[in-house]
């Protein structure tokens, strides 16, 4: 039997995605042996993650704790008639880096993945549909990754958004298949965005 503090850490680590019991105990014993500075840094980062960061009420991107909306949702300079749907906050940042997009975003916080047991209710899909139902949206760009899961998520969203009377577009091909938007170079991403096509 392991001492309780180690058991507790192993248990907590095991709950993280992709970490099995073996990796969890290896990490726990690593932290036990490592200089205190390493575990302190980790503990502090974990605490700050939840006290200093929150999710935007409208788009579910990350924002500073205490703020309801992120900067983009708050901004009157951004076109609320266009919503670009991405998987993760980092994908949104990739679009922001090219600087050519003036609409808003919606972060799904993942993709549909039957293998990992991630269904529609695990993503911010109902919130996206509710947001469109509130009106004022003319186009939704499905900018999920060109992976199998990203495609399946776009296919799932397409009829549901179209049913609300909104134009649905998908990024143009040209992004490396199976790749991650987050790592696409700016020109490729810009081409994919400007060449987006209505889904049929
Ligand atoms: Zn927002």
Average pLDDT of the segment spanning 18-45: 95
Instruction: Kindly tell me the sign of the dihedral angle through the C-alpha atoms of 174, 81, 56, 112.
Output: negative
How far does the centroid of ligand 1 lie from the alpha carbon of residue 105, in Å? 7
Q: What is the pLDDT of residue 69?
A: 95
In 3D, which of 199, 195, 119 has the Cα closest to residue 166?
A: 199
Q: Quick one: pLDDT at residue 182?
A: 80
Contacts of 197 (CB under 8 A, 6+ apart): 169, 170, 172
- How many whole angstroms from 182 Cα to the centroid of ligand 1? 19
The confidence band for 78, taking pLDDT boundaries of 50, 70 and 90, is: very high
Between the CA of 27 and the centroid of ligand 1 the distance, in Å, is: 35
Q: How far is CA 63 from CA 31, 77, 83, 195, in A?
A: 30, 18, 18, 30
The pLDDT assigned to 158 comes to 97
Tell me, in angstroms, the distance from the centre of ligand 1 to residue 37's CA: 35
pLDDT (mean) for 155-162: 97
Ligand 1 centroid–CA 95 distance in Å is 14
Q: What are the tens digits of pLDDT across the range 109-144?
A: 999 998 888 999 999 999 999 999 999 999 999 999
CA of 165 to the centre of ligand 1 (A): 23
Task: Share the mean pLDDT of the chain.
Answer: 93
Q: Is the pLDDT of residue 159 over 70?
A: yes
């Amino acid at each position: 039997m392991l001492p309780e503090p180690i058991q507790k850490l192993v248990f907590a680590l095991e709950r993280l995605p992709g970490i099995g019991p073996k990796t969890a105990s290896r990490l726990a014993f690593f932290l036990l042996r490592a200089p205190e500075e390493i575990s302190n840094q980790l503990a502090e980062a974990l605490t700050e993650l939840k006290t200093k960061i929150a999710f935007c009420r409208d788009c579910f991107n990350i924002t500073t704790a205490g703020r309801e909306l992120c900067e983009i949702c708050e901004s009157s300079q951004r076109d609320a008639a266009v919503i670009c749907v991405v998987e993760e906050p980092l994908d949104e940042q990739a679009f922001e880096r090219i600087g050519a997009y003036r609409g808003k975003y919606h972060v799904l916080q993942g993709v549909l993945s039957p293998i990992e047991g991630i269904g529609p209710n695990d993503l911010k899909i109902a919130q996206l549909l509710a947001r469109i139902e509130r009106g004022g949206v003319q186009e939704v760009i499905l900018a999920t990754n060109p992976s199998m899961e990203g495609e399946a998520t776009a296919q799932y969203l397409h009829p549901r958004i179209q049913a609300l009377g909104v134009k649905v577009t998908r990024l143009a091909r040209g992004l490396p298949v199976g790749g991650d938007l987050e790592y696409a170079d700016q020109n490729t991403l810009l081409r994919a965005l400007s060449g987006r096509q209505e889904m049929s």
